[in-house]
Structure 1
């Protein structure tokens, strides 16, 4: 009598169990202060009021992992979070400063922009970017500038891109479809044979898109192993 085979784990539950392991690692005001590592790093970016910190907290099922300030634009550092086993983390989340908040002093805004630009362009361990876009507003000029900035690395497949259309619970069905169509058109401009692009409507309140986003991020950090290469059966001919 054969023992019953165990069912395959639910992909969403597996991914959410992984994101739940996120814990604070370090914070840095400049790129040079970030640790050098070989782990895949996934950066979260977006306008200061796009719901970035709230989305990170919902994805990790933690209330205050990412600091969600009542005053948008207050986060001034890059915050790193480690994921996976405590003794052997397998990925990092990077929470980048929000951009575009008018009340921030110009000097601070320029400094943050320089830090973000350096990170997105030069960070060697960066493997994916999660861009938060308020679904009610669509891609603002600053969002489009960020897309254009990362487009070269996305186009070559060096980094992957996931767009979360946040606050989707505020939209009716027609507006939600329109937001998706607009995002699809814009991302189509970045599409190449090597580009890894995805998007989803997302709501921290209704949990819409959380499972999908978690599975995308888990797949980024755990790519399938390449197929084993079998050595060709060769035999030297011996002549005598």
Structure 2
């Protein structure tokens, strides 16, 4: 197996880890614990399933570390296609990582509120629930901010895939379109309170989902086997 093919397979494996851990921490755990219209219900869910909440934090940390490792491996794989665009892709990911880790502190603050006897004794139940929900709101506001970079990095990544000559152009197109899907989602959530309840909010994320799942599976299963590696590209 060639070095390029090994790098591609590693990128696919890291992408799969990123997707699985991201789905667990950003979708599965919140669906079990969060009730945004009821602070009391959310408080009870978290206190009764504290291990699941902690596993969600671990999953989030694993997601961000996988994202960092993926970007570094993809830079190695795709920089021969166009070093400038590969560098932009890497920088966008590197900017998002500290934002994501700092944002995770809000979940640790929830653990502090629930685990320190002095808070439990000095705050009444409603105050404690409201303080917890405030930190969770801060956390999900931070996730929305991170989505900007989760979208932006797909534009140079998709371009590199499209121009590579050893990865499918169609997947590169889906990735580039997916960039704008993330940005539209951010603006919609930020500017329009009922955006998430519209059919458009589901539709706009489809190209990015196809592109990311598709390139993950392609890299993992196909690698670069049977595809000619480009010697040089200045485009």
More helix by share: 2
- TM-score where L is the length of structure 2: 0.28
- TM-score where L is the length of structure 1: 0.28
